A and B are shown apart, each in its own frame.
Chain A
Amino acid sequence: MNLFGDAVAWLLDPANWQGSGSIGQRLAEHLAFTSIAVVVGVLIAVPLGWWIGHTGRGKELVVGITGAARALPSFGLIFLFVMLVGIGLRVPAAVVVLMLLAIPPVLAGAYAGFEVIDRRTIDAARAMGMTEWQILWKVEVPLGLPLLFGGLRSAVLQVVATAVLIAYIGLGGLGYDIVQGIQLRRYDQMLGSALLIIALALLLDAIFAILERYSVPRGVRAGRATDVRTTPTGRRATADEPATT
C-alpha cells in the first residue's frame, strides 16, 4: 500500500507539474491526440453511418469493418504506420491509427441508431409530406442520437487507452511517464501516471454516459412512460409484425 502513497505523492509533487515534460503537458498532449483523432473519425464515420442507415445500402460494410477492427492489434499498427511513413511524420501516423480505432464504433453507432427506428415512424413522416432531407434531420438523426453517443463513448475510450501507447514512438502523452518509469525503475512515477490515466478514462466515460442519457429526445422519453402502462397489448402488437418489408 505504501507504493500507492508514493504514487500519490509523485502526482501531487509541484516539481512534477512544472517545466517541459510536466504532468500537465503530458495530459494536454494526451487530450490533444485523443480529441483530434476522435473528431476526424467522427467526421468520416457519422456521415457514412447515417448514409448507410438511411438508404439501407452497405450494411455488410458496417458488420465487416467492426468485426475486422477488433482483430487488428492497435499496438502493432502504431509501429507499422510510423515505419511506413517515416519517423519524421510520426504525429500524423499516430493520429491516423487512433482515428482508425475511433471509426468502427462511431460508424456502428450512427448506423444502428437509424436501424432501430420503427419503419412505420419513417413511413408516417413520409406520408405527412416530409422530404427525404427533413426525414433525415427531423426524424432519424434525433431518434438515432442515443446510440450514436453510445458508439462515440466506446470510441473515446478506445482512443484514450491506445493513446497511452504512442509514448513508445516518442510522442509523449500520459504513457510517457510509464515508459520512462519502467526504464528508470521508478515505480512511484509509473503508478502515479497509471492512476491518472485510469482517472481520465473513468471521467471521460462518465461524461459520455451522461451525454448518452440526455440525448434521448423528449418525445421518446415521454412515450416510454406511457409505454409501461400499455405493455401487455402494445408490445405484442409490434413484436408479431415483421420489422423489415
Chain B
Amino acid sequence: MTWVMNNLELILDLTLQHIRLSLLPIVLGFVIALPLGWLAFRYRLTRGLVLTLVGLLYTIPSLALFVVLPPLLGIGFLSEANVLIALTIYAVAIMARSVADALASVDPDIRQAATAMGYSSWNRFWTVDLPLAGPVLLAGLRVVAVSTVSLLTVGIVVGVQSLGYLFTNGFQRGILASVLTGVVMTVIVALIFDRLLALLGARLMPWTRARERRMATPTAEVTA
C-alpha cells in the first residue's frame, strides 16, 4: 500500500497513457471492420475471403506481430505506431466477424419492408440495418475494447509505455505491489471502457432497454 501511495503520480500517468493508446485501435478497428463485415455479410465469395483472412490475422501472437510489422510497413520497431497498428489489426479481426453476425441478426422481413417503402440500399443500410444490428455490434465492440486494453500491456516489450510498465519494471526490481497494481488498474480500465460502451449503447438504442425490461420478467421466472 505504501508503494502505491508513493507512486500515485506514476500510476495515474500510466493509466491515462493506457486509456489514450487504447482509444485509437478501438475506434479505428470499428471503422475498418464496418465495410469488411458488410462484405462478409453481403456476398458469399467475399464472406469466405474476409472471414478466413481475419481468422488468420487473429491467430498471430502479439509479440510475433510486433516483430513482423516493422519490416513489412517500414515503421520503427520501438514506435507507438507499431503497437497501435498491431492492436488495430486484432480489433478488426474480432469486429469484422461481429459486424457480419450483427447484420445477419436483422430480420429479413424488416429489410424487405424498408425496400418496399422505397429505401435505396445505401439509405437502408444506415437508417434500418445498422441501428437494428446495434445490440450485436455493441456486444462485439465491448469484447474489442476489453481485449485491446488487456493486450496493450504487452506493448511495453517494444518500449511503448502503458500499465505494462508496472509489470516489467516491478518484476525486475522485485516489487510485488507494482505488478499487482498494474493488473488491477488494467482490469479497472477495461471495466470502465466496458461500462461506458454499455451506457452509450443504452443512450443510442433506447428501444433495447425497453425490450430488456420486458424480457427480464419471463427469464427470471424460468431460472427460478
Contacts and interface: CB of A to CB of B under 8 A. Distances in A.
Interface residues of A, number: 39
Given A70-B147, A71-B150, A77 B183 contact: yes
B60 to A, nearest CB: 5
B56 A76 contact: no
A74 B149 CA distance: 12
Contacts of A175: 63
Chain B interface bracket (under 10, 10 to 19, 20 to 34, 35 or more): 35 or more
B167 A75 contact: yes
Interface string B141-178: 00100110111011001100001101110110010100
A176 to B, nearest CB: 11
A76 B182 contact: yes
B180 A80 contact: yes
Given A75-B164, A205-B59, A191 B183 contact: no
Interface in A195-228: 195, 197-198, 201-202, 205
Contacts of B46: none
A63 interface: no
A75 B150 CA distance: 9
A157 B56 CA distance: 11
A157 B153 contact: no
Contact of A198 (B64, B164, B170, B191): B64
A76 B164 contact: yes
B44 to A, nearest CB: 16
A198 B60 contact: yes
B7 to A, nearest CB: 16
A205 B150 CA distance: 22
Contacts of B64: 164, 178, 194-195, 197-198, 201
Most interface-central of B164, B167, B180, B191 (chain A CB within 10 A): B167
B186 interface: yes
A17 interface: no
B222 A201 contact: no
Given A71-B191, A190-B67, A79 B59 contact: no
- Top 9 nearest A-B pairs (CB, nearest first) are A161-B61, A194-B67, A194-B64, A71-B190, A76-B183, A3-B71, A79-B171, A197-B64, A73-B153
